[in-house]
């Protein structure tokens, strides 16, 4: 019995871990970060968070639609690199700006993150098509979500406490983004399956 390769598992783990870290930090933990660590008003923190969630949802839908015309891997790669590059400046802007700065910086992150999450289920399945199958997706997605996503807020709070650096979460996202970008780059472009539709009365 031929041993199954582990590299696709590591690729998928890196990509999903990055996506989950971004989701938990930017869209789940962000209101608490803004209020507790940056001293922003609770209303401003919640308002900017809700706005970013709406933009994130729209970005995911647009990325999914764009996949009909562009390579899903390239969309995910663009989103990953854009998120990694823009995350540190965005965190700095949030420190010194008001409500409009919060809205702008989180909108930038929401758009780029949506490009990743919107096509991730198109990109990753081709990794396991010839080896692990659906088991590879289930294992890596569940593990990455539980370990990296679930612990992201606690780990970021620990990083801030350890380094006394308010923007430490941005560094964490950047490093994971570079790792995920390398993993996505090594993924072959997803195959395009063309479906033939048949009219109900056709033979």
Contact, 42 vs 60, CB < 8 A? no
Element spanning 16, H or E = helix 7-22
How many other CB atoms are found less than 10 A from the CB of residue 158? Answer: 12
Per-residue pLDDT tens over the stretch 62-109: 999 999 889 899 999 999 999 999 999 999 999 988 899 999 999 999
In a domain, 190, yes or no: no
pTM recorded for the entire structure: 0.86
In sign, the C-alpha dihedral spanning 9, 14, 20, 24 is positive
Asked, for residue 194, whether it belongs to a domain, the answer is no
> What's the rounded Cα separation, in Å, for the pair 145 and 22?
11
Determine, yes or no, domain membership for 6.
Answer: no
192 within some domain: no
Residue 2 in any domain: the answer is no
What total number of domains does the chain contain?
1
With respect to residue 143, please indicate whether it lies within any of the assigned structural domains: yes
Domain residues for the domain of 22 are: 11-185
**Does residue 102 sit within a domain?**
yes
Considering the domain boundaries, does residue 93 fall inside one?
Answer: yes
What is the CATH classification number for the domain harbouring 15? 1.20.1250.20
Statement: residue 145 has pLDDT above 60: yes
């Amino acid at each position: 019995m031929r041993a199954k390769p582990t590299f696709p598992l590591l690729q998928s783990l890196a990509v999903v871990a990055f996506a989950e870290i971004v989701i938990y930090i930017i869209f789940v933990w962000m209101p608490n970060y803004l209020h507790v660590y940056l001293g922003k008003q609770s209303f401003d923190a919640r308002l900017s968070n809700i706005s970013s969630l709406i933009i994130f949802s729209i970005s995911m839908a647009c990325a999914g639609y764009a996949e009909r015309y562009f390579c899903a891997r390239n969309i995910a790669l663009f989103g990953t690199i854009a998120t990694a590059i823009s995350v540190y400046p965005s965190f700095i802007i949030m420190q010194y700006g008001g409500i409009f700065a919060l809205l702008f910086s989180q909108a930038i992150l929401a758009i780029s993150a949506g490009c990743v999450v919107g096509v991730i289920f198109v990109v990753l399945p081709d990794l396991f098509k010839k080896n692990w199958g659906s088991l590879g997706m289930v294992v890596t997605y569940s593990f990455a979500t539980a370990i990296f996503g679930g612990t992201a807020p606690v780990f970021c709070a620990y990083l801030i406490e350890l380094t006394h650096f308010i923007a430490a979460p941005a560094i964490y996202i950047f490093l994971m983004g570079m790792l995920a970008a390398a993993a996505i780059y090594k993924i072959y472009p997803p195959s395009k399956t063309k479906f033939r539709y048949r009219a109900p009365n056709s033979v």
